[in-house]
Amino acid sequence: MTEDSGAPHGPAADTIAALSSGALPAGVAVVRLSGPAAGPALAALSGRDLPPPRRAVVRALRHPGTGRLIDRALVLWLPGPGTATGEDMAELHLHGGRAVVAAALAALTAGGPAVARLAEPGEFTRRAFLNGRMDLAAVEGLADLLAAETEAQRVQALAQAGGALSARIAGWRARLIEARALIEASLDFSDEADVAEAAEAEGLAVAAALKADLEAALAEAGRGERLRTGFQVALMGPPNAGKSSLMNALAAREVAIVTAEAGTTRDVLEVHLDLGGYPVTIADTAGLRDGVGLAEQEGIRRALDRGRSADLVLWLDPADGPVLEPPADLAAGSVLWRVATKSDLAGDGAAGPARRCLSVRTGQGVGDLVAALAAAAAESLKGGEDALVTRARHRAALEDAVGCLDRALAPGGLPELKAEDLRRAADALARVVGAIGVETVLGAIFSSFCIGK
């Protein structure tokens, strides 16, 4: 529950229902209900009293209006507040056919004693947050866990969902309270100069140590954020250098159109790979050349933008053609590997000592390039699993807190103003876990969840 959200504590006024398991058809489909009518809805569908709490029982489920059998299912009754959402909940473990699930949801939303409505994306998790079952950092960790595609992403997200950042925030805020209390105590003993000075000095020492810890967390923020989005690799070079062919080879499927016509690729195409447990995004870009039409010019502009923001640029030249130099700003601003493609068309040593040599047609060098990309991703992202700061929102809040601590630690200044700066720093940290001032981000966060989560 946020301090300024205005949302009511306790159960919501309505009851929601949704499929919370995977895509249908499946062996088992789990339909969840949450809200004050979860119990009556379960009783109405089963035609019997509620089962004992948190004990799975088999019940024949029937439409409460028509009495027609829907399915024989395993059901659970989960009375609040000790549930995932903090409300009364029920689960129906149905046979995982589309028609079965559709019939169950239709019965639950048909009105009468089994009244519910279909849940919106992330609404179960949003209720958990509003009812104090999760804080916002844990919610974001859960969203990342659902989206995790690699082992490193899973480890980072699981730590976040388990409260790693939340626990650290709580510790940091406790130290801010301690520092602020010492500085405010110095005001109470202003008539005793030695005592006041000692209390203020001790409070500022606590604040200085905390500032160092926050700066250390921020130093790892880049790794944590990049681990969520992936190591970015841009394939660049002149037209017909083999960029799209290499993209397809790395993806092991037909992602990009490959033709002998120059300028086939106009927009940036992406493929997401798991290399050594780390997420890697490969971007195929338009070939760079002069004197082309408007559409291709726009593609070239996007290619250059993507190259400048990439973690690594692979600059491709055909091994049997002239060696072209990349744009000066691209070579200066990004890590860049030179790659000689179509090595099967050139003689031995045509690539030269400064370029990696490969042939998509024969497979020569492709495996070595994949291994090198995996190593580069690991080097760039390793340690991200342990990073506390994994989102731009977290980083901005910690930077705000550090700025407040800088002002508090500046020489001179009144103790009253230093105490106020410490309060502002605590408020900045509170935004990370959703304890204050997060209403503007809630919609964006919960909309990233699936319907039944």
Q: Give the CATH number of the domain where residue 31 resides.
A: 3.30.1360.120
**Are 334 and 422 within one domain?**
no
Mean pLDDT calculated for residue range 118-137: 92
141-175 pLDDT, tens digit per residue, is 999 998 899 999 999 999 999 999 999 999 999 99
**Are 258 and 367 within one domain?**
yes
The answer to whether residue 228 is domain-embedded is no
The answer to whether residue 300 is domain-embedded is yes
Q: What is residue 3's predicted lDDT score, i.e. its pLDDT?
A: 36
**Are 263 and 168 within one domain?**
no
**Are 321 and 392 within one domain?**
no
Q: What is residue 286's predicted lDDT score, i.e. its pLDDT?
A: 87
**Are 359 and 422 within one domain?**
no
pLDDT category at 350 given cuts 50, 70, 90 is low
pLDDT category at 441 given cuts 50, 70, 90 is low
Q: CATH code at 215?
A: 1.20.120.430
Q: Which of 117, 135, 153 is the last residue of a domain?
A: 135
Q: What are the angstrom distances between the C-alpha of 11 and each of 17, 127, 141, 272, 437?
A: 14, 8, 24, 41, 22
Q: Which of 135, 157, 186 is the last residue of a domain?
A: 135
The answer to whether residue 440 is domain-embedded is no
Burial state string for 375-407 with b = 16 or more CB within 10 A and e = fewer than 16: ebbeebbeebbebbbbbebbbebbbbbbebbee
Residue 350, burial from CB neighbour count under 10 angstroms (0-12, 13-18, 19+)? middle
The answer to whether residue 215 is domain-embedded is yes
Is a pLDDT exceeding 70 seen at residue 308?
Answer: yes
What gap in Å lies between CA 28 and CA 2, rounded to an integer? 36
Q: Check: CB of residue 342 under 8 Å from CB of residue 319.
A: yes
* Residue range of the domain that includes 311: 233-381
Q: Which residues pair with 32 in a beta bridge?
A: 18, 91
Is a pLDDT exceeding 60 seen at residue 247?
Answer: yes
Counting the structural domains of the chain, the total is 3
Mean pLDDT calculated for residue range 393-398: 94
**Are 285 and 407 within one domain?**
no
The answer to whether residue 395 is domain-embedded is yes
The answer to whether residue 262 is domain-embedded is yes
Q: Which of 106, 135, 164 is the last residue of a domain?
A: 135
- In whole numbers, what is the pLDDT of the chain averaged over residues? 86
**Are 243 and 355 within one domain?**
yes
pLDDT category at 85 given cuts 50, 70, 90 is very high
Residue 446 or 419, more confident? 419
- Say what angle helices 392-409 and 415-433 make with each other, to 10 degrees: 170
Residue 181 or 92, more confident? 92
**Are 371 and 280 within one domain?**
yes
**Are 392 and 320 within one domain?**
no
27-68 pLDDT, tens digit per residue, is 999 999 999 999 999 999 998 899 999 999 999 999 988 999
Burial state string for 109-124 with b = 16 or more CB within 10 A and e = fewer than 16: beeeebbbeebebbbb
**Are 190 and 253 within one domain?**
no
What gap in Å lies between CA 388 and CA 314, rounded to an integer? 31
Is a pLDDT exceeding 90 seen at residue 12?
Answer: no
Residue 190 or 394, more confident? 394
Q: What is residue 1's predicted lDDT score, i.e. its pLDDT?
A: 36
Return the top range by mean pLDDT from 175-184, 250-259, 290-299: 175-184
**Are 240 and 376 within one domain?**
yes
Q: CATH code at 341?
A: 3.40.50.300
HSE-CB at 198 with a 13 A cutoff on CA atoms is 6
pLDDT category at 352 given cuts 50, 70, 90 is low
The answer to whether residue 428 is domain-embedded is yes
Q: What is the pTM of this model?
A: 0.76
The answer to whether residue 443 is domain-embedded is no
pLDDT category at 111 given cuts 50, 70, 90 is confident
Q: What are the angstrom distances between the C-alpha of 306 and each of 146, 289, 302, 316?
A: 27, 16, 6, 15
Residue 240 or 60, more confident? 60
Q: What is residue 114's predicted lDDT score, i.e. its pLDDT?
A: 62
**Are 292 and 338 within one domain?**
yes
